[in-house]
Structure 1
Amino acid sequence: MFISDTTNGQKSETTMDLPLPDPGPDKEAPPPLFCCNQCDKETVHKIAQLLNPGLAAACVDNTTGLFRGPASVAVPFRPEMVDYLTQRSETYVAETMAQRDEAADPAAEEISDDPADIVSDLMEDFASSKRNFFSRVSGWILSDNREDKVDDFVLEMERNAFWPIDRREAVAETLLRNVDFKNAFHCPMKFEAEGQLAAHRDECGFRIMECCNERCRTKFSAAHAAKHDEECPFKILPCEQRCEKSLMRREMDRHCVTVCPMKLMNCPFYQIGCQSAFPQCTLKDHCADFLNAHLSCVVQVIHRQEFSDEEIDQRVLLLQQSECRSQLSEALDVRSLTIAVRDQEAKMRKSDRGLGTVYEVD
């Protein structure tokens, strides 16, 4: 604003600032909040594992039918895909809520709340936007050849460490927090003091833990500690068949079906009549305890066309009463017991009486 001043007969112009409004009492800015934002490690890794195939699909579809390979566009496509996913994930919650409000059909398809499924859909949108004309008008998208080329390019990127897993997991964490509107896969807690945040992080269910089992390098969220402990292949466990040995979970099956002394086995005389099954370490005890049954089976095989059932029972009784009983009880299979029986019978033939159903031992 300008006004006139006629001091000393001279006219001049001066300026006058308008008065500023009263700001009132000073208002302090709210204190900054300290966010936890720790994420579910398993889901982060799952999303990170999807990024390479998503990028590979975009690169392959963009170069199909051209005189260049997918590697020629991988470098510029990678940051472009990250920017695309970040921007889409930031608006995903608002878009999803709007879609659900507009859906009038209660039978409409339910939208997945799994962050990995959501990110997979967003990557598919990005790949679709990069398809060239040939990819769009041909049957390429549904062909097995396309899947093979995508898989091959994923292997090439991993072999050359084009996009290391730690960098992909950093991207995956951001995407997870953006789309996890139910806070089921990351911690939404906020604190007014850094000390409160630090104390919370030590107890947060999403804090990262490492397996304590030797040779296991797995990392997981604390909430999954019990689940990992139930599945860890390196955890030392007592033998499932209750032998004295303890071994890693991943070696348990092989141990139980090969070298475990408590492995169940069929009786060596199974094929000629004994249907017993027992731990293999008790084989000697079984053969000693069931000598009568085994002798009966062997004698029937040797003399099935010579003796009646009654005569076979008498022969078995004589064999049990012979001086070679201990030798017979030590036979652990059909062949060795058959040899022992024939040897003992040869000694008994000298005292054959009558019809040969009664024998005396030499």
Structure 2
Amino acid sequence: MIAVDVQGRAGNFASSVAFESAGDVTAVFGPSGCGKTTLIRMICGLHTPERGQIRVGDTLLYDQRAGLNVPAHKRRLGVVFQEPRLFPHLGVTANLRYGQWAGGRSSPLSFDDVVDLLGLGALLQRRTAFLSGGERQRVAIGRALLAGPRLLVMDEPLASLDAARKAEILPYLVALKAEIGIPMLYVSHSLSEIEQLATDMVVMTDGRVVTSGALDEVLNRLDVPGFSEGPEAGSRVKGRLIAHDEDTATGRIAFEGQQVVVPLPRPRSLGPVLLHIQAKDVIIALEPPRGLSIRNQLSGKIAALHQPAGPYVEVLVQVGAQQVRARITQLAARDLQLDVGQSVYVLIKSVALEPALG
């Protein structure tokens, strides 16, 4: 559990943030300049709020009324920044051992546990100057874990990496979520990262929280200014990969009693998967269409409609126990005469989908 209710300033920037989360991985999302880094600095003890309270688990880290402000080095937080900030004069092993020393060897994870979890075995004898960006970030995460943190704080850890290095490190972050048993606070402006990692989400803008809660609930909100109408807005849905056709390089995913076809150029294990479906890639039809190249046609009912300022209408369609978002024009919504409770078909191009580990 992390509970934050603070107000403060960083220069001319005012911040007033309040949220609670008991999730395994709480994502803090928002555009650049919205106050994410200021919030992290307050939680980590690097910037003092003017008033309020910060609690992690059963431990108060800051309470203005009680005159309590635990120093940064005593807060037992493992912090990974956008830049790895490794010690350049030390090798990989020494950087990792520093984490153990700094944490008083209090980590429930052993040195070998962390090395295995993050795939660092082949790097232990290397100097940090000869590591790739993704390798350096993995070492930084390992060092933070070996300090025995009560909370792992990750501030845009993939922002400085190119697409290939992000793809390299994301599976390790997914493994951390599943195996370490340490709550994480993950700061990012990338929805695709958040959807693969987070269980809960906090959305910020202009130094304040505009919504927070369970990840899927927040993603399906249609009325959050600056978020719901964003270019990455969409749905995260859960399915199960049940077949792979090597001849057509496609996979079939079971989803709420129906099936979805996705590109799958390389074989992978059958089992749970996540799909991010961008709202702009979804078409709404009143009848099952024929003669189209679109492979995915899901039946459902409209659960909500929202028309923000501008030319679009946001549509939330209930498909079984899950929901899929669509973004269509006002003109299309008017011509189709859409209404809540109406039965519709959701059409999704296969090429718009890429399954991630579930």
Common topology (TM > 0.5): no
**TM-score after normalising by structure 1:** 0.21
Instruction: Name whichever structure is richer in helix by fraction.
Output: 1
Q: Which has the higher strand share?
A: 2
TM-score by length of 2: 0.21
Instruction: Pick the structure with greater CA Rg.
Output: 1
